[in-house]
Amino acid sequence: MSENRLTITDERTGKQYQVQIQDGTIRANDLRQIKVSADDFGLMTYDPAYLNTASCRSSITYIDGDKGILRYRGYPIEQLAGTCTFLEVAYLLLNGELPNQEQLAAWETRVLRHTMLHETSKKFLENFRYDAHPMTMLISTLAAMSTVYPESKNIHDATNRQKQTIRLIAKMPTLSAYCYRHRLGLPYIYPDRDLSFTENFMNMMWRFMEPKYVANPILARALDVLFILHADHEQNCSTSTMRSVGSSQADPYLSMGAATAALSGPLHGGANEEVLRMLDHIGSKEAIPAFIKTVKDGHGKLMGFGHRVYKNFDPRAQIIKKTADEVFTVTGYNPKIEIARELERIALEDEYFIKRRLYPNVDFYSGIIYEAMGFRPDLFTVLFAIPRVVGWLAQWEEMVTDPEQKISRPRQIYTGYDERQFVPMEKRS
């Protein structure tokens, strides 16, 4: 009869150990009993970049990378992106259940009521250079907002956590739009509560002299879909940063500043900006084979390709491709999509990419849509961050309330010197 146990024989000592298997994992700490002598520290696992280590139990997002499945709280991403609004999905991620009509209306009102930035937060932005990268402004200002809401340090109070959660979700589009307008020297536009979450963001980005901003419904819907696709993605680099920094009981503004910094890197959320720059660099369909060759020769990566978890296809990329066609009916065709499609076609037939199971990820097509909508490439990663705030906060809440979680603190394999005698200055060569 099969038992949920693993029997390990230590060939160094001949001793046998049994460790429990639960949910397809063993507890790394159970290996510590495996020793060669009484003063031995015990066996550890070595897993740089966490290729095969679960750091938490989570009921928020499910991914099956081989089958290309992504679900939030059990609901397939295709169904959510096809029918819901972003705030509806945000409610689901944070509360575990879809809201009914009344709950959704109350939630929307609550979020939109908090979209205004404190005037001092606006001043933080004004001190950046005129050409500061919006993502860097966002990271720093998020952390600085901790000074505006000092009560956020009380992370043990559920009501207080909820208040900060709403504030962060609501203020993120305002902050992002202000980072953009600062760069262009444009006056900041205050939020408009009559508009939906995404329409209001477009209003703060693009309104000029008109008394009331009217968003194009197809573009507003496309942005909603893109926000839904980016809302959470289980234990990725920025989410584990949010959990890791949050585990020290730092307040959510500081933890989120750190998570946003992790997102900004070109291997993570920063990839969408890099994809656009890469397409510009390639320039034409004819130049693609030569570019692919440079990638295969080890000179840079095909940005927007590959994923740690998805090894067949990224379901988000497939939805984004469809959304692109809808956006183009309004904005006109972005010719870069031709280069992107040809790049994808050639790469997917190439042995290098097939062997390594590299497919387009969420960032491959998103930039092309964002550019067609009028966003500049340096804002693309900010557009990733706005919805990901929801995922970070849902995961942070789960971490704070999980009795098994403690301060995050990995082990190491020490590879330095053994003890050495100190050398006085006059004797150093």
Q: Which residues are catalytic?
A: 268, 307, 363
Segment contacting ligand CMC by CB under 6 A, of 215-223, 247-255, 267-275, 331-339: 267-275
Q: Is 268 in the site for ligand CMC (CB under 6 A)?
A: yes
Closest separation in Å from C-beta 196 to ligand CMC: 26
Contact pick of 105, 267, 287, 330 for ligand CMC (by CB under 6 A): 267
Q: Is 308 in the site for ligand CMC (CB under 6 A)?
A: yes
Segment contacting ligand CMC by CB under 6 A, of 10-18, 95-103, 130-138, 303-311: 303-311
Looking at the Cβ atoms of 111 and 295, the one nearer to ligand CMC is 295
Closest separation in Å from C-beta 189 to ligand CMC: 30
Dist CA 15 CA 4 (whole Å): 20
Footprint (CB under 6 A) of ligand CMC, residues 226-245: 233, 236
Closest separation in Å from C-beta 270 to ligand CMC: 8
Looking at the Cβ atoms of 181 and 233, the one nearer to ligand CMC is 233
Q: How many residues touch ligand CMC (CB under 6 A)?
A: 20
Closest separation in Å from C-beta 314 to ligand CMC: 7
Looking at the Cβ atoms of 12 and 357, the one nearer to ligand CMC is 357
Looking at the Cβ atoms of 212 and 299, the one nearer to ligand CMC is 299
Looking at the Cβ atoms of 107 and 353, the one nearer to ligand CMC is 353
Closest separation in Å from C-beta 391 to ligand CMC: 11
Closest separation in Å from C-beta 299 to ligand CMC: 10
Three-state SS string over 128-170 comes to CCCCCCHHHHHHHHHHHHHHCCHHHHCCCCHHHHHHHHHHHHH
Contact pick of 304, 315, 367, 391 for ligand CMC (by CB under 6 A): 304
Query: Residue 324: CB partners within 8 Å, gap ≥ 6?
Result: 334, 337, 365, 368, 369, 372
Segment contacting ligand CMC by CB under 6 A, of 112-120, 143-151, 299-307, 319-327: 299-307
Segment contacting ligand CMC by CB under 6 A, of 218-226, 261-269, 367-375, 402-410: 261-269
Segment contacting ligand CMC by CB under 6 A, of 144-152, 297-305, 333-341, 368-376: 297-305
Residue whose beta carbon is closest to ligand CMC = 306
Closest separation in Å from C-beta 244 to ligand CMC: 17
Q: Is 161 in the site for ligand CMC (CB under 6 A)?
A: no
Closest separation in Å from C-beta 60 to ligand CMC: 15
* Contact (CB, 8 A) for 58 and 42: no
Segment contacting ligand CMC by CB under 6 A, of 8-16, 133-141, 150-158, 302-310: 302-310
* Contact (CB, 8 A) for 196 and 220: yes
Footprint (CB under 6 A) of ligand CMC, residues 310-369: 356, 358, 361-363
* Contact (CB, 8 A) for 232 and 72: yes
Strand partners, 7: 18
* Contact (CB, 8 A) for 288 and 343: yes
- Report the interface residues with ligand CMC, using CB under 6 A: 233, 236, 267-269, 271, 295, 301-308, 356, 358, 361-363
